Amino acid sequence: MNPYFTSLFAIVTREALRFIHQRERFIAALVRPLVWLLVFAAGFRAALGLSIIPPYQTYITYETYIVPGLCGMIMLFNGMQSSLSLVYDREMGSMKLLLTSPLPRWWLLFSKLVGSTAISILQVYAFLAIAAAFGVTMPPAGYVAVLPALVVAGIMLGALGLVLSSFIKQLENFAGVMNFVIFPMFFLSSALYPLWKMAESSELLYTICALNPFTHAVELIRFALYLHFNGTALIWTVLATVVFTVLAIWGYTPSRNGTGKKG
Amino acid sequence: MKGLNVSNLSYSYGTKQALRDVSFDVPAGQFCALLGPNGAGKSTLFGLLTRLLATSDGRITIAGHDLHRHPRLALAQLGIVFQQTTLDLDLSVRQNLKYFAALHGLSGRDATRRIDAALDKLSMLDRAGEKARALNGGHRRRTEIARALIHDPSVLLLDEPTVGLDAAARAAITRHVHQLCDDGTTVLWATHLTDEVYPDDHLVILHRAQVLATGRCADICNGVPLPETFLTMTATPA
């Protein structure tokens, strides 16, 4: 087999094995969005009136509205989880094994991205299946059409995780990432409320939400689930992916001293 | 020059100089001990040799390949055992080695054959199916050395590989790695323990970022026991 595909296959398999070994991680990844869907949405549906906005062609329940946002949330958290495990790997040394391989570094990082995206997609489908069991369903073909959108969104959020892992020097600093990256990214997006609602409250917040790449990842997923194509969201998400990937490759270049230790 | 060549290498962390104009050669098939007290710069040197760190001051040649200009060719010739264990403890010995083989583009029957040969060389073949977590420190180290040999590297780097091991395991691993040189492998073994160095070994003494001595161990010591020589040399400021 080609050395590139051999290494890609091995890295993805390792990510999958690691995920299987951490069953608690899988359960935690599902419980979080399910709490939002079954508890938060139930309480919130009365407070939030939704008008008919694309891609919806009829009035929808709040639970239906937040499902794409929660798919994005799973991917966002998974991207951060991968980033956390990269920082851990670097502290524990196993990242060195990857970075001293004779294959190009960008390829090895890309393989890591593919691995973490595959895990994300698996989690999203498990979540969509449970949501369907609770009566929150999408058009049947939407479950297939969403796959490419999940791939693009997963790679974008995984690349963001890679960038963060290259700049975070210690595991202890990771709590800061939660506060300064995950929460603002999630709440300043269209995951929980449509952007026109945000515009009613604050034009500034609306602008920030509209610029947030996570908003576009969520919209890409939302439109795909309803068999619509959102070109703007795709362009924004791909653009963000390119920026994050370039930053990640730069972050992992040897001359940045990212993986050294004094001795 | 097919072994390892380091010339005029310097590196600093901000204002702190970690290596200053370091030069030495390890001829092909030689065991070279890099001896230095804690903080001498050994791990920095390993970071540079493995391209985890980079500097434009100086040159590193691995089996004839310039690490800066041809990193992939140079890294393909390098086997590395890091100071900290880098095994995935939830995977078996064989799975760990298969993962590493794949990172070097090796798969299928070729990878299996190489893995079996490397494990056999380190007397670990009968433990191949065990989880890495179930192994003791000495066996984990042997697994890591076997892993570093899968791709038949010309140069093997080991960064304080006996840290945390008992005396018997330490002696066994030191002996095993010395034997690898008989097959033509060049070895650079970083340590601060003088009993791991044999009189015929090539020796590089690193202290306070500088090379204090380089040559055959017995020649450097000149009849004085190595621990004494080492203590005398590193007691005086570099």
CATH of the domain at B40: 3.40.50.300
Confidence class of residue B122 from pLDDT cuts 50, 70 and 90?
Answer: confident
Name the residue in chain A with its Cα closest to that of B72.
A102
Q: Which of A6, A92, A254 shows the shortest C-beta gap to B105?
A: A6
Mean of pLDDT values over B210-234: 91
Spatial separation of the C-alpha atoms in residues A26 and A163, rounded to whole Å: 24
Task: Give the pLDDT confidence score for residue A168 in this predicted structure.
Answer: 77
Over pLDDT 70: what percentage of chain B? Answer: 98
Confidence tier at B186 by pLDDT (50, 70, 90): very high
Residue A259 confidence (pLDDT)? 39
Half-sphere exposure of A222 (CA within 13 A, CB side): 28
Residue B154 has φ and ψ, to the nearest 5°, of -80, -30
If pLDDT is split at 50, 70 and 90, which confidence band does B97 have? very high
Cα separation, A216 vs A171, in Å, equals 29
Interface of A to B at Cβ within 8 Å reads 1-4, 6-7, 9-11, 14, 17-18, 21, 92-94, 96-104, 108, 253-255, 257, 259-263
Tens digit of each residue's pLDDT (9 = 90 or more) over A1-26: 788 999 999 999 988 888 887 778 77
Give the per-residue pLDDT at A252: 82
**Residue that is last in its domain, among B152, B178, B200:** B152
Report if residue B165 sits inside a domain.
yes
Listed by start position, the domains of chain A span 3-254
Q: How far apart are CA B151 and CA B140, in angstroms?
A: 19
Q: What pLDDT does A258 receive?
A: 40
> How many separate domains does chain B show?
2
Is the domain of B144 the same as that of B159? no
Backbone phi and psi for residue B50, each to the nearest 5 degrees, phi listed first: -100, 5
Q: Kind of pairing, strands B78-81 and B155-159?
A: parallel
- Inspect the interface and report whether the beta carbons of B90 and A17 lie closer than 8 Å: yes
pLDDT in tens, A30-77: 888 898 888 888 777 766 666 677 777 777 788 888 999 999 999 998
- Distance, in Å, from the CA atom of B208 to the CA atom of B37, rounded to the nearest integer, reads 9
| CB within 8 Å: A21 and B52 | no
Q: Is residue B83 part of a domain?
A: no
Residues 6+ apart with CB under 8 A from A210: A195
Q: Are residues B166 and B237 in the same domain?
A: yes
Give the minimum alpha-carbon distance from B88 to chain A in angstroms, rounded to a whole number.
8
Residue B151 pLDDT > 90: yes
pLDDT value of position A261: 38
Residue B232 lies in a domain: yes
pLDDT digits (tens, 9 = 90+) for A170-224: 766 777 777 788 889 999 998 888 887 787 888 899 999 989 999 999 999 999 9
What are the chain A neighbours of B102 within 8 Å (beta carbons)?
6-7, 9-11
* Helix (H), strand (E) at residue A233: helix A231-251
- Residue B237 is predicted with a pLDDT of 57
Containing domain of residue B147, as a range? 88-152
What is the distance between the alpha carbons of residues A138 and A116, in angstroms, rounded to a whole number? 25
Q: Are B102 and B52 in a shared domain?
A: no
Q: What is the pLDDT of residue A82?
A: 81
Q: Which are the contacts of B183, defined by CB distance < 8 A and separation ≥ 6? A: none
Q: Is the same domain home to B107 and B221? A: no
B73 and B131 both lie in a single domain: no
